[in-house]
A and B are shown apart, each in its own frame.
Chain A
Amino acid sequence: MRKTLGKVVLIPYTFVLLNCAPVAGLYGFVLGRSLGIWNSGVPKDTWEERKA
């Protein structure tokens, strides 16, 4: 029950967050931030690490 509720409230949260992204994206674009370069220099985790 709690798990289902958790899943349900994640839907509006994800929706709101994903709708903030275009505004932040426009802001980044207007400021000319260099987004074409890789996101981070830190190696990403492996599948196994992410699963754990």
Chain B
Amino acid sequence: MAEKLFWTAFIGIVYVYAGYPLLLMLCRRLLRRPVRKQYQELSVSLVMAMHNESKSVRAKMQNCFDLDYPADKLQIIVSLDAPTDGTDALLRDYAERGVEVVYCPVRRGKAETLNRGVALAKGEIVVFMDAEQRLERGAVRELVANFADESVGAASGALVLLDKQCNEASDGVGLYWRYEKKLRAMESDIHSVPGATGAIYAIRRKLFTPLPTGTILDDVMVPMRIVLGGKRAIFDPSARAYDLVTQSADSEYEKKKRTLAGNYQLFAEMPELLVPWHNPIFVQLVSHKVGRLIVPYCLVALFFSNAFLPEGFYRVVMLLQIAWYSMACVGWWMSHRGKLRRVELGIVRD
């Protein structure tokens, strides 16, 4: 019994983190569908949903004006969800530069805010973005070029996390993001990615249908609806948005918690995603998204089943697991020692 549980959990974990990437590498060799990218200047609506962004709104607007895209082809829409920090007042200065602001005095959440923004959009292509990240000058041009291929319905850009020296981050969260982007690139080469990057993604406006109120993952629901409709949702790493990886593993945890709750919500609202003959990227979705939801339980099963298997190979795995979790504890201590010291000092002072 313990042995069966051990191997089921082991195979599950290895498949999600190593088997699936290897399968993608193999499929990419056999089934690659390159996007026929062609530079063109379609009309574009940039849509941003904001709540309290008084600190970043000016930089974001400047970033939009600096984009390498003809101003007469670019519509900038900011949809505000009951800001309380004066973001709306700051945006008034930009009205004369053509920025359109939709204001809602009652908080309704991001999905509703996006719906109101898209309702104003006139561009053939709608580019969604967040307030915090900065787009590379050519990012919109790169994204739009993908729509020369009629099979493409959505195109996601890449979020590049920078460290304090402005190099691509390579530790902890940064490393995880690099791995994630490699997976997305391979998935995109075969057919589609099961989700876009909220910081920068574009769709054909005619394919947008309003999001249900309370949707957590607009950047997964929008492209997945497009994929179910028969078009591709691709990933283009040359359309880049930048953010600083100043967030700790803890804040990434908070973000992930929300994202993964969003996955449960997504499956509840779009059960057809889990039906292989309805979803053309069923394998990718299950391996990438569902797999990540199952791995924690596999890790627990692996550890406890291993405790009942003390011989040979199993003993080595157990020692490796103990070493791994001990390192995790040290990692926790290292990233919290400043905080712990402050608490300690606070206790001493009290």
A contact set with B: CB distance below 8 Å: 6-26, 28-29, 33-47, 49-51
Contacts and interface: CB of A to CB of B under 8 A. Distances in A.
Given A26-B261, A46-B55, A10 B296 contact: no
Contact of A38 (B110, B176, B259, B292): B110
17 contacts: A10-B171, A11-B175, A13-B327, A13-B329, A13-B331, A13-B335, A14-B252, A17-B252, A20-B253, A22-B260, A33-B261, A34-B109, A37-B110, A38-B81, A43-B55, A45-B55, A46-B55
A10 to B, nearest CB: 4
B299 A19 contact: yes
B136 interface: no
Contacts of A10: 171-172, 249, 331, 334-335
Given A21-B256, A41-B51, A13 B164 contact: no
A37 B335 contact: no
Say what secondary structure dominates the interface of chain B: helix
Interface of B: 51-56, 59, 81, 84-85, 87, 107, 109-111, 132, 134, 164, 170-173, 175-176, 213-216, 244, 246, 249-250, 252-254, 256-265, 292-293, 295-297, 299, 324-325, 327-332, 334-335
Contact of A17 (B170, B213, B253, B262): B253
**Residue of A26, A33, A34, A40 most packed against chain B (CB within 10 A):** A26
A43 B53 contact: yes
Contacts of B263: 25
A24 B263 CA distance: 12
Given A6-B334, A23-B296, 17 more contacts: A9-B331, A11-B171, A12-B328, A13-B172, A13-B330, A18-B252, A21-B260, A25-B259, A26-B264, A29-B261, A36-B216, A38-B51, A39-B258, A43-B87, A44-B56, A47-B134, A49-B55
Contact of B110 (A8, A11, A16, A36): A36
Contacts of B331: 9-14
A30 B270 CA distance: 17
Nearest to A45: B55
Nearest to A46: B55
A19 to B, nearest CB: 4
A14 B172 contact: yes
A40 to B, nearest CB: 8
A14 B332 contact: no
- 3 closest cross-chain pairs (CB), A and B: A13-B331, A25-B260, A21-B256
A21 B257 contact: yes
